[in-house]
Amino acid sequence: MKHGRSSLPTPASTNSFWHSEPNEFLIGHRTTEELPKEADIVIVGSGITGTSAARFLAEDERARGKRVVMLEAREACWGATGRNGGHCQPLLFDRAADVAQFELRNVSTVKSYIKTYSVPCEWRSVSGCRTFWTEAVMAEAEKEIARLQKIAPSIAAQVSVIKDKEELKKHRVSEDCVGATLTAGAGSLWPYKLVTFILEKLVKDGKLNLQTRTPVTEITSSYGKHTLQTPRGTITSKTVILATNGYTSAILPHFADLIVPVRGEMSALSPPKDSTLLPNSYGMVAALGQAANNDDYLIQRPYSGVPNPAGHLMFGGGRGAGVLPTIGVSDDSVIDEGAAAYLRGALLKVLKLDGETEGVKELNAAAEWSGIMGYSRDDHPWVGKVPGSEGLWLSGGYTGHGMPNGTLCGKAVVNMVLAEEAGRDLVDVQRELVEQGGLPRSYVITEERISKARLWPTVEVQDKEGVHMSGIV
């Protein structure tokens, strides 16, 4: 099957709850009125990855004095990071041990920045409670945990299994659940507020020229330079970092089968009257007849100490209940009514919500929206230089799991860019990054990896056959 290219981000999009308190400084922001003709480094995309790349460039002495320009098709942080589930939850037993360790380090890095700068983004350190709703998916989880105990006991020590019904109740999980895992090292947050805090700081510190509402329609390359075409003119640079995730193939067509856009559904639900704060963040695997590879995911906003402290239940997923196509879809201006209805009703069945729930069939949605994920054909992000394209770099394809990856993936790209620019051999730099835990080996872009990935079934076939165990946003 031939994969079509992603579209560019749609000019209009569904209204994410996370955008309900917009960063006024960044709305419509263009650091310079005119689009610069040239830059030393151009970053395309202003989500967690692009913003992290800009941050680590600003913090790195090797980039001192470089002109860094960020281009964003819509408003700042208006793509997946501004539309996701607010999770920063490492998956410790679904992946290789080096990936689990990397995700733990990533979450710790995010938390450290928030603490250092007192970022008002509703960060809450929580345990990740992943619930399993069939015997088969529970058995698979236990098998993976047993494997982890053998190969990485220190990571496995951060995972516990709960099957006792009374214990499940303590975590507010319905007794219909087969079992759950509790994972240390997770967090929940208002992702848009974190990213826009970083962007605003970079712009005000003179470290970044941000150009919103400036979509890149094409990149042409000659004589070691890349020219990015936009409706506002062109900008040329020797170095371009694509932080475009699900939209990557719109400007990198030969990645159309490797990073595939997938539309997901999210909601902000008003909790039952007089209910209390849930203790964890949650994932639901194979709940209420959903396929085992379509997790639902939940965090809860605070009831106090923040603006609009309403305790919204930020609940996403329900893809199996959807009535519209999702794979290969890059239009987030549409709500899937089937998935949205599922999300309004499911929590009353899978959790023991307290407060006034008698007779309540579904929760009231304060907001419902969709967002575009980038599913990777081999289930790992693509991080590094685009083969055959000198000076063109990429980090994307998180398969719905970008928050515990994007920060350090952005840092890894910056390390590669600056080291190669200083005359170092890229293969040596990549090997060092892998050996030092700066990037899992499976994330590194190589020609060999691309060839191997193309031997896998397509993303669409994998999704139908239930290969991916992903979806925690």
- For residue range 79-89, list pLDDT tens digits in order: 999 999 999 99
Average pLDDT over residues 283-296: 93
Query: For residues 283 and 89, is the Cβ–Cβ distance under 8 A?
Result: yes
For the 17-82+192-259+378-465 domain, the top CATH level (class) is alpha beta
Q: Is it the case that residue 237 has pLDDT exceeding 90?
A: yes
Q: At what angle do helices 97-117 and 135-151 cross, to 10 degrees?
A: 90
Gap between the Cα atoms of 107 and 123, Å rounded: 11
| CATH number for the domain running over 125-187+260-374 | 3.30.9.10
Q: Is it the case that residue 387 has pLDDT exceeding 70?
A: yes
Please, which pLDDT band fits residue 39 given cuts at 50, 70 and 90? Answer: very high
Average pLDDT over residues 443-469: 90
Q: Is it the case that residue 47 has pLDDT exceeding 80?
A: yes
Average pLDDT over residues 248-269: 98
Strand-pair category, 218-222 with 209-211: unpaired
Please, which pLDDT band fits residue 467 given cuts at 50, 70 and 90? Answer: low
b (16+ CB within 10 A) / e for 26-60: beebebeeebbeebebbbbbbbbbbbbbbbbbbee
Average pLDDT over residues 315-338: 97
Q: Is it the case that residue 360 has pLDDT exceeding 80?
A: yes
The pLDDT tens digits of the residues spanning 150-174 come to 999 999 999 999 999 999 999 999 9
Q: Is it the case that residue 105 has pLDDT exceeding 50?
A: yes
Please, which pLDDT band fits residue 1 given cuts at 50, 70 and 90? Answer: very low
Gap between the Cα atoms of 236 and 221, Å rounded: 9
Average pLDDT over residues 312-334: 97
Average pLDDT over residues 23-47: 98
Average pLDDT over residues 353-359: 95
Do the domains spanning 17-82+192-259+378-465 and 125-187+260-374 agree at the CATH topology level?
A: no
Q: Is it the case that residue 35 has pLDDT exceeding 80?
A: yes
Q: Which helix (H) or strand (E) covers residue 95, if one does?
A: none
pLDDT at 3: 63
Q: Is it the case that residue 279 has pLDDT exceeding 50?
A: yes
pLDDT at 351: 97
Please, which pLDDT band fits residue 473 given cuts at 50, 70 and 90? Answer: very low
Q: Is the dihedral of CA 268, 272, 274, 276 positive or negative?
A: negative
Please, which pLDDT band fits residue 294 given cuts at 50, 70 and 90? Answer: confident
Please state the domain extents for the chain: 17-82+192-259+378-465, 125-187+260-374
Q: Is it the case that residue 4 has pLDDT exceeding 90?
A: no
